[in-house]
Chain A
Amino acid sequence: MKPLQGKLALITGSGRGIGKATALKLASEGCDIVVNFFRRREAAEKTVEEIRALGVRAELVRANVGDPAKIAEMFDFVADKFGYLDIFISNAASGVGRPIFDIDEKAWNWTMDINAKALLLCAQRAVGLMAGRNGRIVSISSLGSKFVWPTYAAVGVSKAALEALTRYLAIEMAPHGICVNAVSASAVDTEALKFYIREGLVKDLKQTTPVGRMVTPEDVAGVVAFLCSDEAYMIRGQTIIVDGGTSVAPFAPMIQKGDG
């Protein structure tokens, strides 16, 4: 029997990127999956097909997690279709890439609503569906919560809020039998990153990771799956960094070139 057989995971933003890799990883361990998407229906439908090919159940639900009413509808969908939930992965992210002085209130709220407030509202709804099921919640953060990247202020702050919220949720949800953690990645090789490279905001990052390659969605998905396993039961409120060593050796690229 596979480790997650008979369990159900809802993964926000799982049509592509880290969310998709996580969906496929959990599905490969026997987990049924509810794929949430917002703007890319074709990609999400393809992900559902790939999950079903692994022999588990997969359902698709469209929702903008920046909208509390849509979050409610998404959880109503899970409640109606399944009536329970074992794993919730808060992965959907958006944000406005602008220098500090160009961030208006609309851009700030859009970013905070999707990246931080959504976790709070989703976790509140997940509790009822996870009753008596040893639930797991994992949020996906980024190193921009601690480090400064160009035009990343709004997203970086939203991710810092996400990590703080993860700690509070971990403690307040422990009595409900729910284990809450986060996974933080450096720049991950996804379509979202390609946007930043196209816009000239970041360079090709292969050379800046001490390990010598970029972090992949599958690298992140593997750690998320570990946090959903029995072995991770006593890890609570932590943000596990998956960055190939970048954050502990920020000057490594310069040293390797001999000019550091």
Chain B
Amino acid sequence: MSVEEEIKDIVSKIAHIDKSIITREGTFKEMKADSLDIVQALVAVEEKYDIEIPDEEAQKFTNFGDFVSFVEKEVAKKG
């Protein structure tokens, strides 16, 4: 499974939303994910890939795609 698909799985489980409505262009607001869902998703993704996503970075995400791209870059750095 790709990183994108794995993150979709995590977000859908935490925010109780259907995976099919999560798109790269979609925002958390559009997905009706609240701030706790977002923090818990960030933490779950950090633990899954053993990376760090500081709030300073997370605040720059304008949509789900930005989130996925950041994680993909961090995962690639780890080799």
Q: Is there a chain B Cβ closer than 8 Å to A28's Cβ?
A: no
Interface residues in A5-49 (C-beta closer than 8 Å to B) = 39-42
Interface residues in A89-121 (C-beta closer than 8 Å to B) = 96, 106-107, 110
Q: Which of B2-10, B19-27, B49-57, B66-74 contacts A (4 or more CB under 8 A)?
A: B49-57
Question: Looking at chain B's contact residues, is the secondary structure mostly helix, strand, loop, or mixed?
Answer: helix
**Chain A interface extent, by class:** 10 to 19
Smallest beta-carbon distance B57→chain A, Å: 9
Are A62 and B52 in contact (CB-based, < 8 A)? yes
Contact with A along B39-67 (1 / 0, CB 8 A): 11001000000001011101000000000
Are A39 and B36 in contact (CB-based, < 8 A)? no
Are B43 and A42 in contact (CB-based, < 8 A)? no
Are A41 and B52 in contact (CB-based, < 8 A)? yes
Smallest beta-carbon distance A115→chain B, Å: 14
User: Which of B52, B54, B58 is most buried by chain A, counting CB atoms within 10 A of its CB?
Assistant: B54
How far, in whole Å, are A230 and B25 apart by their CA atoms in the complex? 58
How far, in whole Å, are A64 and B46 apart by their CA atoms in the complex? 12
Smallest beta-carbon distance B55→chain A, Å: 4
How far, in whole Å, are A107 and B56 apart by their CA atoms in the complex? 23
Which residues in B have their C-beta under 8 angstroms from that of A41?
Answer: 52, 54, 56
Which residues in B have their C-beta under 8 angstroms from that of A107?
Answer: 36
Which residues in B have their C-beta under 8 angstroms from that of A42?
Answer: 54, 56
Are A96 and B43 in contact (CB-based, < 8 A)? no
Smallest beta-carbon distance A219→chain B, Å: 26
Smallest beta-carbon distance A233→chain B, Å: 39
Are A110 and B36 in contact (CB-based, < 8 A)? yes
- Contact partner, B54, options A40, A96, A110, Cβ 8 Å: A40
- Contact partner, B55, options A39, A62, A96, A106, Cβ 8 Å: A39
Smallest beta-carbon distance A214→chain B, Å: 24
Are A40 and B36 in contact (CB-based, < 8 A)? no
- Complex: chain A residue closest to B39, CB-CB: A39
Are A40 and B56 in contact (CB-based, < 8 A)? yes
Smallest beta-carbon distance A118→chain B, Å: 15
Which residues in B have their C-beta under 8 angstroms from that of A96?
Answer: 36
Smallest beta-carbon distance A232→chain B, Å: 35
Are B36 and A106 in contact (CB-based, < 8 A)? yes
- Complex: chain A residue closest to B56, CB-CB: A42
User: Which of A39, A40, A41, A107 is most buried by chain B, counting CB atoms within 10 A of its CB?
Assistant: A39
- Complex: chain A residue closest to B54, CB-CB: A41
Which residues in B have their C-beta under 8 angstroms from that of A110?
Answer: 36, 40
Smallest beta-carbon distance B13→chain A, Å: 12
Smallest beta-carbon distance A147→chain B, Å: 24
* Contact (A64, B43) CB under 8 Å given A40-B55, A40-B56, A42-B56: yes
> Which A residues are within 8 Å of any B CB, using their own CB?
39-42, 62, 64, 96, 106-107, 110
User: Which A-B residue pairs are the 8 nearest by beta carbons?
Assistant: A39-B55, A41-B54, A42-B56, A40-B55, A96-B36, A107-B36, A110-B36, A64-B43
12 CB contacts below 8 A, A to B, read: A39-B39, A39-B55, A39-B58, A40-B54, A40-B56, A41-B52, A41-B54, A41-B56, A42-B56, A62-B52, A64-B43, A107-B36
